C-alpha cells in the first residue's frame, strides 16, 4: 500500500485527538487547538480535516453524548486507530531523526 503522508494541520488534529483521548469531537478539538496555538481555528477546517482523517483510516468515530446546549444533537466522537498511531509515530520519528541530525552549533542557534 502506498504510504499516506500527513499534512501539517492533519498531524496537529490527529495529535489533538490522541491527546483528548475519549473526549475528542469537533468542538473539543477546535478548543484544544485554539488553546495550544493561541489563535482562532476555523471549525469548518477542523471538521473537514477530521472527516478526511477518518476517510484515510487514521480515525474512527461513533455517535453519542447529546446535550441540551447542542439542541439535543449527538456528538461524533473520534479515536485514533492503530494505523493513525503508526502514522503519528512515523511523523515523530522523521522529526526526531532530523533533530538529531542537527549539528550542535545549529542546535545552539535555536536556543535549546
Partner 1 sequence: MPNRREPTTDNPPGWSNKLLAWLAHPDTLEETAGDMMELYQYRLKQLGKRKADRLYVIDAFKLLRPFARSKKKHVSGNPFSLVMIQNYFKIARRNLLKNKGYSAINISGLAVGMAVALLIGLWVFDELSFNKNHAHYDKIAQVMQSQSFAGTIQSGNGVPKQLERELRNKYGSHFKYIALTGGGGEHLLSVGEKKIMKIGRYMSPEIVEMLSLKMLKGTRSGLADMNSVLLSESAAKATFGDTDPMDKILKIDNKNAVRVTGVYADLPANSSFAGLAFIAPWKLLERDLPEWLGWGNNWFDMYVQIADHATMDQVSATIAKSKLENINQGEAKYEPLIFLHPMSKWNLYSEFKNGVNTGGRISVVWLFGITGLFVLMLACINFMNLNTARSEKRAKEIGVRKAVGSAKIQLAMQFLGESLMVVAIAFLLSLLIVVLSLPAFNQLVNKQIELPFTQPYFWLACIAFVVITGIVAGSYPALYLSSFKPIAALKGVSGKLSSGLLAGSPRKVLVVLQFTVSVTLIIGTIIVYRQVQHAKNRPIGYSRQQLLTSPIKSDEIIKHYSAFRNDLINTGVVEEVTATDSPITNTYVTNSGFSWKGKNPAMTDEFVTLRITHEFGKTVGWKIKEGRDFSKEFATDSLGFVLNEAAVKYMGLKNPIGEMIQWSDNESYKVIGVVRDLVTQSPYEPAKQTIFFLNYKRLNTVNIKIRPSASASAAVARIQSVFKKYDPENLFQYAFADQEYARKFSDEERVAGLTTLFAALAIAISCLGLFGLASFVAEQRTKEIGIRKVLGASVAGLWALLSREFLVLVLISCTIAGPIAWYLMNDWLEKYTYRTEISWWIFAVSALGAVLVTLLTVSFQAIKAALLNPVRSLRSE
Note the residues at the interface with partner 1 (CB under 8 A): 25-27, 30-31, 40, 42-45, 47-48, 51, 63, 66-67, 69-71, 73-76
Q: How far is the CB of 30 from partner 1 (least distance, A)?
A: 6
Q: What is the distance between the alpha carbons of residues 108 and 104, in angstroms, rounded to a whole number?
A: 6
Q: How far is the CB of 26 from partner 1 (least distance, A)?
A: 4
Q: How far is the CB of 111 from partner 1 (least distance, A)?
A: 32
Locate 51 and state its grid cell.
472527516
Closest CA to 48 of 59, 64, 32: 59
Nearer to partner 1, 67 or 108 (CB): 67
Q: What is the distance between the alpha carbons of residues 4 and 18, in angstroms, rounded to a whole number?
A: 19
Q: Which residues pair with 80 in a beta bridge?
A: 59
Nearer to partner 1, 6 or 33 (CB): 33
Nearer to partner 1, 72 or 111 (CB): 72
Q: What is the distance between the alpha carbons of residues 29 and 11, in angstroms, rounded to a whole number?
A: 13
Q: How far is the CB of 72 from partner 1 (least distance, A)?
A: 8
| Positions of E strands within the chain | 59-64, 75-80
Nearer to partner 1, 26 or 56 (CB): 26
Amino acid at each position: 500500500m502506498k504510504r499516506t503522508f500527513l499534512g501539517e494541520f492533519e498531524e496537529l488534529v490527529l495529535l489533538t485527538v490522541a491527546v483528548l483521548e475519549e473526549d475528542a469531537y469537533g468542538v473539543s478539538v477546535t478548543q484544544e487547538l485554539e488553546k495550544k496555538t493561541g489563535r482562532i481555528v476555523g471549525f469548518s477546517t477542523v471538521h473537514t480535516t477530521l472527516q478526511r482523517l477518518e476517510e484515510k483510516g487514521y480515525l474512527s468515530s461513533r455517535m453519542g453524548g447529546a446535550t441540551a446546549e447542542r439542541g439535543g444533537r449527538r456528538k461524533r466522537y473520534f479515536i485514533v486507530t492503530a494505523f493513525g498511531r503508526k502514522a503519528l509515530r512515523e511523523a515523530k520519528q522523521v522529526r526526531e531523526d532530523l533533530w538529531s541530525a542537527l549539528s550542535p552549533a545549529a542546535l545552539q542557534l535555536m536556543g535549546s
